[in-house]
Structure 1
Amino acid sequence: MLSEITVQNVALIESATLRLSPGLNAVTGETGAGKTLLATALQLLLGGRARSEVVRSGAERATMEGVFELSAGVLREILPAALGDLAEEVDPADGLVLRRVITADGRSRCYVNGVSVGVRALAALGERLVSYHGQREQARLADPAEQLALLDSFLEAEGREALKEHAALWREVEGARRELEELEASGEARLRELDFLRYQVREIEASGYSREEVERLLGERERLRNVTGLMEAAAAAVGALAPEEGGGALDAVSAAASELERASRMDAALGPLAERLGGASAELEDVLYELRAYLEELEADPERLEAVEGRLAELRGLERKYGGDVPGYLRGARERLRRLENADEETAGLEEKIARGERRLGELAEKVSAARREAAGRLARRVQGNLEGLNLGGTLFRAGLVPAEPGPLGRERVEFSIRPNPGEPELPVRRHASGGELSRIMLALRLAQREPDPSVTYIFDEVDAGIGGETATAVGARLRELGERCQVITITHLPQIASEASSHVVVSKEEVSGRTVTRVRRVEGEERRRELARMLSGRVDEVSLAHASNLLVSGGG
């Protein structure tokens, strides 16, 4: 659940901290006080689009921070999917603290437990943590894709598995169809590609190209180009070790070794040093021998240099033509050539794969359809029962399946429809339902879910649009019922709904030092009764206070 949200410099909110409770939380206040600003701030915190105008005038940045109380097990489940490799830097034992900073020029920075993340990661977490229902989001209920997704959330395990397998197999069959189309695209083009690929394969194979040869030739070319300098260096080294007139390094080391060997007979401590000098003398003799052999073999060879340059030019030409990885290109060309040369065989294989896949798709689509028919009936019954509790008892709700063009999600779409009054025609929700009806239908759908995720916070912004009286009382009672299963936040202007809440927050607007400031405070006891009285009649008097007391007694608050 969301336990606390802190907002600084968001529009009219200079600084506000909202502490929330489990169950139903009501946010109230006069029109224009800034109730929806809190929902906006929360949407921004959870990855909503940043706009510079949300930053309070005169401020450099707006800051939003939310503290979520979730078990370490839930965090270990949701963090990797949202954050990827960054999840390893977030310790689930620390809980979950999200923070977002938006600067006056519209830039933003996002953090999860102090770890900097991208806004998409924040949005992915937001989808998992909060389910927001405002007027715009409730309108999505009229979208056929949204209706199908809602219906599919009511499928039993067998239906969900069939749908999952159907979607995966559909993608596989579509891929095979594209491959078949490529093979059958143009016989002439295929023949031209065959000739071209054969030429390329022959050219690379005939060249005997290998990266090892290129490296070896580069070294040989460098040696041949610098043969004079190499001779001079090697000869100088030989002269330093053993000059013709004697007295070089080799003689000096040998003499030193002989002296130490003789002295070691008088002092055994010199023995190891004598052995080391003896070893150095032997090593120098080996070096001298190899240097002389190197000098004998080293000679200027313009013809060999020309041959090396020519071979390197040939190999470098292949690299420019086929890219740096010539062997890799050759492997790919051979594979493509094999496929084209065996096109008839591959075509038959793809046709068989598609036919087999289509048969299985038909079986799975029938399973999905059957599961959806069962789910549609179960969903309609549950929603119907909930609508009665929302003072829409005369409204008939139905989730009908309509044949559609086959696709990855099956071969039907769903159409939510309502009949507002007995004897009236049944009409699709998308064509008939008002904003208030959509809000209540969405609430009825949420209540119909067998087990709403307790780690998700549900926010209903103006779910009370266009209702009042007994309907408002009914909506409040059902919101409280949903709050018994998960955390719910409702932004409302109706006292019947606010009185059902276990926690009540008031948003107010005042002038401080010539500037308008929005304040947020939690109200209890008499202060809460006075807020309900204000909501009832616009003023606080004995009659409205008595009515507010009755609401608190009859409500859940």
Structure 2
Amino acid sequence: MLSEISVRNVALIESATLRLSPGLNAVTGETGAGKTLLATALQLLLGGRARAEVVRAGEERAEMEGLFELPEGVLREILPAALGDLAEEVDPRDGLLLRRTITADGRSRCYVNGVSVGVRVLAALGERLVSYHGQREQARLADPAEQLALLDAFVGPEGLEALRERAELWRSVEEARRRLEEIRASGEARLRELDFLRYQIGEIEASGYSREEMERLLAERERLRNVTGLLEAAAAAAAALAPEEGGGAVEAVSAAASELERASRLDGDLGPLAERLAGASAELGDVLYELRAYLDELEANPERLEEVENRLAELRELERKYGEDVPGYLRRARERLSGLENADEETGRLEEWIFREERRLAELGEEISAARREAARHLAERVQENLKGLRLDRTLFRAELVPCEPGPSGNERVEFVIRPNPGEPELPVRRYASGGELSRIMLALRLAQREPDPSVTYIFDEVDAGIGGETATAVGSRLRELGGRCQVITITHLPQIASEASSHVVVSKEEVSGRTVTRIRRVEGEERRRELARMLSGRVDRVSLAHASNLLVGGGG
């Protein structure tokens, strides 16, 4: 439930904090005092469209804050759907604190338990936490989609499961139909693509392309291009190791090794040095041998250089056409070719699957229709009973199923039909009912719900439009009944409805320092009795106070 709402600088509201109670809460006040501002502030808090004009003149920003107290388990269930990964940052143990600020230039910022979120998060939470019924929202009752949603709330678990399965299966079948159509429509294009893929695959396979060959050829080209310098360097190194006239590094190191070997016989400490020199001498001999072999093999070869350059050009042309990852392109082309070559087989599979699942869709459609027929009967009975309690006992309500083009939600739409008085024709709600009747029909529908969600706050903005007397008393009684199952806030002009509330809030307007200010306060006891007296006669006197006392005795106060 909504336990507290605080508002600052919203239109005429300078600053107000309102604590609400479980059950039925009534909001009253003179016309123009700003009762609807409270509902407007709540709608803004729950993601409504922000407009700069809601900010009180002369102020930088408007602020709204609402504390919702719900079981921790309920909050942990609804937060992930609205917040996604941010849900892990929100601690719901102390309730859900929503906050929104709107600046004078129309920008807004939103928070959930201090965590900054987008306005869509507040809107998603608002849909789960509050059900708002104002004059505009009540007109939604005439919307076929809204009517179908209301009816489907009565179909029971098996019907809901059939609806869920059909919606999912319908999407899958539609996707399969699109895929089948693509295959059929792309006959010539498919043949062209087949030929092209086969050519590309053949070209790559015939080339024998490999990245290893590319790297090997690049190294060989570098060697062939620099053969003269390599020959000079290798020959100079060989000459330094062993010149033709004798001497050189190899001979010198060998001689040194022999001297140390003889000396080590006299002094064992020279043994390790002698061994190291002997190893160096052997290593230099190996190097000299390999250098001479390198010189024997290395020669300028223009023909081979041309061959290497030509092969590298072929490989680079393949990379230019297919990208640097030529093997990866070849793999993907083979996969695509296989898919296209198996298109006929895929077509057969799709046709068989669609045929089978269309039969299942038809079965589910029949199950849904049967569940809706039963739901329509139960809904009509319960709404009819509630309408009698709302002084619409001469009104006939019926939920009529009308066949329509099959879709994901079934094979029919629903039309709510009323007959206001005996002898008059039945007509759709959208064409016949007045605003006041729509309000009461919506209330009757809410009362008809098997189990109104106790975690939802229901707001009825001027549900009393166009009624009075005994009808107002009946509406107030029904609102109190709904308040016994969940929190209800009603904005009303009628004392008969306000007297049924367990909590009474008064909105008033006054002038302070030359500026108009809306005040919101909770009234009890004598102050509440005087407010009801004002609502009854427009003035507070002995007669109106006595009448107010009678209302409180008979109502919720």
Question: If the TM-score is normalised by the length of the shorter chain, which range does it land in?
Answer: 0.7 to 0.9
Q: Which deviates more, 153-162 or 193-202? A: 193-202
Shift of 1:162: 1.1
Return the alpha-carbon distance in structure 1 between the equivalents of residues 183 and 189 of structure 2: 10
Shift of 1:360: 0.9
* 2:500 corresponding residue in structure 1: 500
Q: Which deviates more, 298-307 or 402-411? A: 298-307
Paired residues of 2:214 and 2:315 also in contact (CA < 8 A): no
* 1:432 corresponding residue in structure 2: 432
Return the alpha-carbon distance in structure 2 between the equivalents of residues 103 and 222 of structure 1: 70
Return the alpha-carbon distance in structure 2 between the equivalents of residues 222 and 119 of structure 1: 64
Return the alpha-carbon distance in structure 1 between the equivalents of residues 398 and 351 of structure 2: 41
* 1:401 corresponding residue in structure 2: 401
Shift of 1:138: 0.8
* 2:273 corresponding residue in structure 1: none
* 1:34 corresponding residue in structure 2: 34
Q: Which deviates more, 91-100 or 427-436? A: 91-100
* 1:114 corresponding residue in structure 2: 114
Return the alpha-carbon distance in structure 2 between the equivalents of residues 393 and 530 of structure 1: 33
Shift of 1:337: 2.6
Indicate the SS of the match to 2:93: helix
Return the alpha-carbon distance in structure 2 between the equivalents of residues 208 and 25 of structure 1: 83
* 2:52 corresponding residue in structure 1: 52
Mark the structure with the bigger radius of gyration: 2
Shift of 1:309: 6.6
* 1:534 corresponding residue in structure 2: 534
Shift of 1:204: 4.8
Shift of 1:330: 4.8
Indicate the SS of the match to 2:453: coil
* 2:320 corresponding residue in structure 1: 317
Return the alpha-carbon distance in structure 2 between the equivalents of residues 542 and 472 of structure 1: 23
Shift of 1:535: 1.0
1:363 aligns with 2:360: no
1:545 aligns with 2:545: yes
1:373 aligns with 2:376: no
Paired residues of 1:221 and 1:309 also in contact (CA < 8 A): no
Q: Deviations over 1:263-307 (max 9, x none)?
A: 9xxxxxxxxxxxxxxxxxx9xxx9xx99xx99x999999959957
Change (3 A) 1:390 1:342: same
Paired residues of 1:217 and 1:308 also in contact (CA < 8 A): no
* 2:422 corresponding residue in structure 1: 422
Return the alpha-carbon distance in structure 2 between the equivalents of residues 2 and 218 of structure 1: 77
Return the alpha-carbon distance in structure 2 between the equivalents of residues 534 and 224 of structure 1: 107
Indicate the SS of the match to 2:385: helix
Q: Could you tell me the TM-score, scaled by structure 2's length? A: 0.83
Paired residues of 1:457 and 1:488 also in contact (CA < 8 A): yes
Paired amino acid for 1:410: G
Change (3 A) 1:388 1:330: farther
Indicate the SS of the match to 1:92: coil
* 1:252 corresponding residue in structure 2: none
Q: Summarize the alignment of residues 166-185 of structure 1 with structure 2, pairs less than 5 Å apart.
A: 166-185=166-185
Indicate the SS of the match to 2:339: helix
* 2:261 corresponding residue in structure 1: none
* 2:472 corresponding residue in structure 1: 472
Paired amino acid for 2:77: E
Return the alpha-carbon distance in structure 1 between the equivalents of residues 38 and 294 of structure 2: 86
Paired amino acid for 1:314: E
Change (3 A) 1:472 1:181: same
Paired residues of 1:23 and 1:486 also in contact (CA < 8 A): yes
Return the alpha-carbon distance in structure 2 between the equivalents of residues 205 and 454 of structure 1: 69
Shift of 1:61: 1.2
Indicate the SS of the match to 2:67: strand
Change (3 A) 1:548 1:357: same
* 1:85 corresponding residue in structure 2: 85
Change (3 A) 1:185 1:492: same
Return the alpha-carbon distance in structure 1 between the equivalents of residues 33 and 325 of structure 2: 66
Shift of 1:102: 1.2
* 1:275 corresponding residue in structure 2: none
Indicate the SS of the match to 1:94: coil
Return the alpha-carbon distance in structure 2 between the equivalents of residues 54 and 216 of structure 1: 70
5+ unaligned residues in a row in structure 1: which ranges? 239-243, 247-261, 264-281
Paired residues of 2:322 and 2:329 also in contact (CA < 8 A): no
Paired residues of 2:60 and 2:104 also in contact (CA < 8 A): yes
5+ unaligned residues in a row in structure 2: which ranges? 238-248, 253-267, 270-278
Change (3 A) 1:226 1:549: farther
Return the alpha-carbon distance in structure 2 between the equivalents of residues 219 and 97 of structure 1: 68
Superposition CA RMSD, Å: 3.7
Paired residues of 1:398 and 1:416 also in contact (CA < 8 A): yes
